[in-house]
Structure 1
Amino acid sequence: MNTLTNQDSQIFQQETKMPKSIYHQNWSKNLIRQIYCLLNSDIDPQVKIAQVLAIIGETYQVDNVVLLKIQSSVSQIYGTWGSNDRSWLESFIDQQWFTLASSSKEHQVYQFCQENVIVNDYRKVSYCEEIRSNEDLHCCILSLPLYVSHNFFGYLILQNDQSDRIFNCEEIDSLETIIDQIAIAIQQIKYQERIKKIELENKQLKSSKNNKSDYFSHVSHELRTTLAGILGLSKMLKQELYGPLNEKQKEYVNGIRVSGEHLLALVNDFLDLSKIEADKEELFLENVTVEDICLATISIIQPKADEQNIDIILKVSEQVDFCTVDQRKIKQILINLMSNAIKFTEEGSVTLQVEKVDNWLKFCVIDTGIGIKEEDQKKLFQPFQQIHSKLSRQHKGTGLGLALSRKLAQLHEGELTLTSEYGKGSCFTLELPLKLSQPNPNPIC
């Protein structure tokens, strides 16, 4: 450790050819520069504070240096240099330092520099009646308050067994500058502790998310297997393979099928959403024709549109040709958006419009439906949020479709947005970058 030598400190006590004010100024600059370099090094902040206390103790030629933390009127020795006897230090704090502290103004620089003498303002010496009769206080004590981020932290205390040691103004001024540097090191320690706590919480959260994803995968597999059996049997009953059904039985069988399909859709959406949140969802990127994706989507939702007499319109810009995406996931988004558009459109059309804007590919699903109120738009992309209307009661939904679609868009480094005017229709826009920054991940098994 680089410290001011004893010789330097002795010279400080002697007369020199150099004017005293200039000598003190240079001495103070060297000391502060030395501590500043130490505190700005890559050493652990706890070690820095210990070394700073050592530099102070050796430079000021005292017996002990104590960094005292005070919280809720409870004192704690935060750092120390000099005596290794913990019980002596605690006794010194309780019996000597607190006696002086209680006799002076709180959070103030002061020193007890001779027997029965206390300096409340270190430029003026005054006597304290409360400690004059105490014959045990034959030592020199200097105490300076320490603030961290403008909050009172505690005191830096220098103690010397020689009761005639007096700290001059220049020495105390230098210590006040050093204290500001110590406060920065303490703040660094607090930041490190906070970062470690956050990292631990993130690790625990990630582990919890992974466990949740594994749990949902297992439950989903069990539910899917059971639902497959229910849907298969309901289909066989509906086809009357084992005998005719009366009208009431047909109604019940159809109800079983519809409820089963709804539950299966909910399980699939919930599992996909959980996998994305647990960072387990991967993309299988491939170069595909945009028009093929659109036509495949329309072929799936066309029967539903025909049932409601809704016209499906496809508009693909001439500038649009290929895109690099996970084809299955993009179709999943478009099917969900167009199904919702058909659901909330009583008459008119649903348009799928694709265009290229700068380095982005935009899929716009535009309907002439009921539109969405502004207060509903804010919560629309949250899980299990659905618009309450006559049409939503007629058509069942999972409440996860739009939340999942936005997550899948963000997985492609894109975004899903909405513009809507109540009573006049809506436009959902899927924006995808023409080139993804991430490398092609492994295909999904």
Structure 2
Amino acid sequence: MATYEEKHLTDINKELYKRNRELAVKNKTLSLLRELYQISILTLEPAALSKRIVSTIQLALGFELVGIYTYQAAHDALEPLSFASSQNFSDARISLHCNFDNIAIEHTINSSFFKPIVRDQHTGHTSHLCEIWDKEIDKETLQKLQDQSHIVTTLVFPLSIEERVLGVIVLCLNREYDSLDEFEKEAITSFINVIAVALDKSILYQQIQAANLKLKELDKQKTEFVSIASHQLRSPLTAIKGYSSMMLEGTYGELGEKIKQPIQNIYDSSQRLVTIIEDFLNITRIELGRMKYEFVTLNFKELAEKVVNDQQSAAKQKGVVLNYHAEGGKYTINADPGKINQVISNLIDNAIKYTPAGAVDVTVNDGKGVVRLAVKDSGVGIPAEVMSKLFEKFVRADDAGKINYAGTGLGLYVAKQMVEAHKGKIWAESEGAGKGSTFIVELPAKKG
């Protein structure tokens, strides 16, 4: 017979084994919770998220099957997202030709098993797989699958946020649920909560992605509509501008003073509309990726000087002095002359229009691998709160209305896109409202 000491030692060893096992289980479940938390903070769509989750749980806890379904309340159906299984289960499923990965569980409210899970958020517990998939797979096949993969207990937990059921997680075990340690049971409850939060965030992310795609499509349709409408408007405006110009030039006879000014108004208005339409067309080309650039070698100083000369008439009509200064240098760049002409014209035109009285100074210089244009005015200036969004679409100076400047707020946005397409930079400087402003463009000089 065993002595008292031997029996006592045996009891101690049993207790140590029990505590070591409990410690191992705790370490394993804590590690699992940490892994699930790391997965939960990732930005993934529901299918990808579920795949990571079920694989992690199955590998860590050795369950025969782990599966996640989403609940579609409108159709009262559980849609499968992802499954992970043991080798036993996989072998049995293949041999029995049993595939439920793509099979939805429908009419859950009419199911005695799923009704309390979906409606009341209770945990489902069964020793028969046929209670879960009896409508989708025949009972005999399910029983063989259960026997061959050694499934003893199947648990189904609702994944819910507050009163809203997002889906369920199915756990198939090769032992009785009651044989699990209390810590294991608590761990399962804990990771169910983590999964529910992660799934809710993932579904929201998917909905946002879908909404963004829809908005992008609508924005593309809007852009294409603006492009078509602008093209349709340009032809009659060209005719209006052309005929009014011919009338002003006396092609149809000399005009009386009484009629001359209205015709001049028609010509000026049609010119403004042509400019606006060209802005809209440029926007559509940029947003649809259809803006074309024809790069050639050109002299930046000569191009800038030509634009300044072209703008002298507008400056005189406004009572603004337009000055031009160029320092020595090569000024050779590789650029699209039409696009750079448009950028310079826009900046000088804006400077003239936003300067009620005073001067606009245009300076170009060449050095340190770049050519630089600076357009400085003594006009209305730029408030600090406007500066950060100045080159965005439809942004205009706060004083634009006061000086009767009708613009679209697209010119600077288009200019920025064109400059950046040339690998250049454009920015503005101003000490504030009423203190004038300076717009600066830098473009890379051609090497050699």
| Shorter-chain TM-score range | 0.5 to 0.7
Instruction: Please state how far the C-alpha of 1:366 moved relative to its aligned partner.
Output: 0.8
* Match in the other structure for 2:441: 430
In structure 1, how many angstroms separate the alpha carbons of the residues matched to 2:156 and 2:401? 76
In structure 1, how many angstroms separate the alpha carbons of the residues matched to 2:186 and 2:209? 36
1:169 to 158, 182, 188: 182
Matches within 5 A, 1:291-370: 291-308=301-318, 310-318=320-328, 321-355=331-365, 361-370=371-380
Instruction: Please state how far the C-alpha of 1:261 moved relative to its aligned partner.
Output: 1.8
- In structure 1, give the amino acid aligned to 2:214: E
Q: 1:241 to 1:288 in 2, by over 3 A?
A: closer
* Match in the other structure for 1:94: 115
List per-residue Cα deviations over 1:192-250 (Å, max 9, x = no partner).
7357525633652464255335424xx42x33322232223223322333333322122
* Match in the other structure for 2:224: 211
In structure 2, how many angstroms separate the alpha carbons of the residues matched to 1:331 and 1:322? 15
Instruction: Please state how far the C-alpha of 1:351 moved relative to its aligned partner.
Output: 1.2
User: 3-state DSSP class of the match of 1:231?
Assistant: helix
Unmatched tracts of structure 1, length 5 or more: 1-14, 102-108, 114-138, 437-445
List per-residue Cα deviations over 1:84-142 (Å, max 9, x = no partner).
895898312436998995xxxxxxx99999xxxxxxxxxxxxxxxxxxxxxxxxx9897
- In structure 2, give the amino acid aligned to 1:401: G
Residue 19 in structure 1 maps to residue 17 in structure 2:
yes
User: 1:68, 1:75 within 8 Å by CA — same for their partners in 2?
Assistant: no
Q: 1:247 to 1:355 in 2, by over 3 A?
A: closer
- In structure 2, give the amino acid aligned to 1:226: P
Matches within 5 A, 1:245-324: 245-308=255-318, 310-318=320-328, 321-324=331-334
Instruction: Please state how far the C-alpha of 1:291 moved relative to its aligned partner.
Output: 0.9
- In structure 2, give the amino acid aligned to 1:261: Q
Q: 1:370 to 1:289 in 2, by over 3 A?
A: same
* Match in the other structure for 2:133: none
- In structure 1, give the amino acid aligned to 2:360: V
- In structure 2, give the amino acid aligned to 1:92: F
Q: CA RMSD in A?
A: 5.3
User: 3-state DSSP class of the match of 1:352?
Assistant: strand
* Match in the other structure for 2:253: 243
Matches within 5 A, 1:155-166: 165-166=178-179
In structure 1, how many angstroms separate the alpha carbons of the residues matched to 2:234 and 2:124? 77
Instruction: Please state how far the C-alpha of 1:155 moved relative to its aligned partner.
Output: 7.0
User: 3-state DSSP class of the match of 1:383?
Assistant: coil
User: 1:68, 1:76 within 8 Å by CA — same for their partners in 2?
Assistant: no
User: 2:153, 2:177 within 8 Å by CA — same for their partners in 1?
Assistant: yes
User: 3-state DSSP class of the match of 1:314?
Assistant: strand
User: 2:161, 2:197 within 8 Å by CA — same for their partners in 1?
Assistant: yes
List per-residue Cα deviations over 1:151-210 (Å, max 9, x = no partner).
996776768999994432243255357647756874785477357525633652464255
User: 2:331, 2:445 within 8 Å by CA — same for their partners in 1?
Assistant: no
Q: 1:171 to 1:268 in 2, by over 3 A?
A: closer
* Match in the other structure for 1:9: none
List per-residue Cα deviations over 1:377-435 (Å, max 9, x = no partner).
67765427465469833x66555433433343344443332425444422122244558
Q: 1:60 to 1:16 in 2, by over 3 A?
A: farther
In structure 1, how many angstroms separate the alpha carbons of the residues matched to 2:415 and 2:79? 53
Residue 227 in structure 1 maps to residue 237 in structure 2:
yes
Count residues with an aligned counterpart: 379
Matches within 5 A, 1:410-425: 410-413=420-423, 414-425=425-436
Bigger mean CA offset, 328-337 vs 202-211: 202-211
Bigger mean CA offset, 139-148 vs 86-95: 139-148
User: 3-state DSSP class of the match of 2:240?
Assistant: helix
User: 3-state DSSP class of the match of 1:272?
Assistant: helix
User: 2:227, 2:280 within 8 Å by CA — same for their partners in 1?
Assistant: no
- In structure 1, give the amino acid aligned to 2:236: T
Matches within 5 A, 1:361-380: 361-372=371-382
Compute the TM-score of the two structures, normalised by the length of structure 2: 0.62
List per-residue Cα deviations over 1:37-80 (Å, max 9, x = no partner).
9x98x994445556677779x9568xx978687899x9975769
2:210 to 181, 187, 197: 197
Matches within 5 A, 1:381-400: 381=391, 382-383=393-394, 385=396, 388=399, 392-393=403-404, 397=407, 399-400=409-410
Bigger mean CA offset, 231-240 vs 357-366: 357-366
In structure 1, how many angstroms separate the alpha carbons of the residues matched to 2:397 and 2:240? 27
In structure 1, how many angstroms separate the alpha carbons of the residues matched to 2:119 and 2:269? 76
Bigger mean CA offset, 270-279 vs 139-148: 139-148
- In structure 1, give the amino acid aligned to 2:293: L
In structure 2, how many angstroms separate the alpha carbons of the residues matched to 1:19 and 1:180? 31
User: 3-state DSSP class of the match of 2:362?
Assistant: strand
Unmatched tracts of structure 2, length 5 or more: 1-12, 90-97, 128-151
In structure 2, how many angstroms separate the alpha carbons of the residues matched to 1:306 and 1:88? 80
Q: 1:196 to 1:99 in 2, by over 3 A?
A: closer
